[in-house]
Amino acid sequence: MKIVVTSGSPDTDLQMISSLLRAGGLADPRASGKAPEDTIQAWHHRLMTSRRSKKEPAISPFSPGKAWEQALGDIFLANLDQNCWGWADARSTWLLDFLSDYDSQFCFVLVFDSPQAAIRLTLLSEEEFTPESAIDTWLNYNHELLHFYNRNAERCILVNANDCLSHPKA
């Protein structure tokens, strides 16, 4: 069994990259066997909401506690019979070390894009961001991706989002 975590910055189109992986045979993760609403997306959402409520920084690597580890274990167990499954979520960027330590079956697709793309998406979005904040976010995420990649190259692939989307068959 392989578990593929696709991660990058929030301004990268991770869902398009994920659709390419699914077309190649990657299965979506099933929800926990305990509750159908316990999906990997819900796990990420609850975990990040919990950090915000404790006033912990949202943009920094961290290792969740035992309860979060057990909740992930329930999702993991629900997917044991899948040969290759995974997800795409920018929030996983801050959990790369945790996930790599959690199980050796995790491998990672680390997706980067240019700072110009981050600014372009910021300007097109309806949220109130400045180009400066877009660059700061881009720097924080991409620094973490490169830092993790340099320590775990045997379990990672580092890809340019634009190249993937321009040449999907490659």
* Per-residue pLDDT reduced to its tens digit, 76-100: 999 999 999 999 999 999 999 999 9
Environment class of 155 (CB within 10 Å of its CB; exposed 0-12, middle 13-18, buried 19+): middle
62-76, 83-97, 120-134, 135-149: least confidently modelled range? 120-134
Q: Are 144 and 96 in contact (CB under 8 A)?
A: yes
Q: What is the mean pLDDT of residues 6-25?
A: 92
pLDDT tens-digit readout, 55-74: 766 678 888 989 999 999 99
The CA distance from 90 to 11, in Å, is 9
Q: Considering only residues 124 and 111, tell me which one the structure prediction assigns the higher pLDDT.
A: 111
Mean pLDDT of the chain, nearest integer: 91
* pLDDT bracket for residue 126 (50, 70, 90): low
Q: What is the mean pLDDT of residues 136-160?
A: 95
Burial class from Cβ neighbours inside 10 Å (0-12, 13-18, 19+) for residue 16 reads middle
Provide long-range contacts, Cβ within 8 A and 24+ apart, for 51-58.
58/94
Encoded amino acid at 69, one letter: E
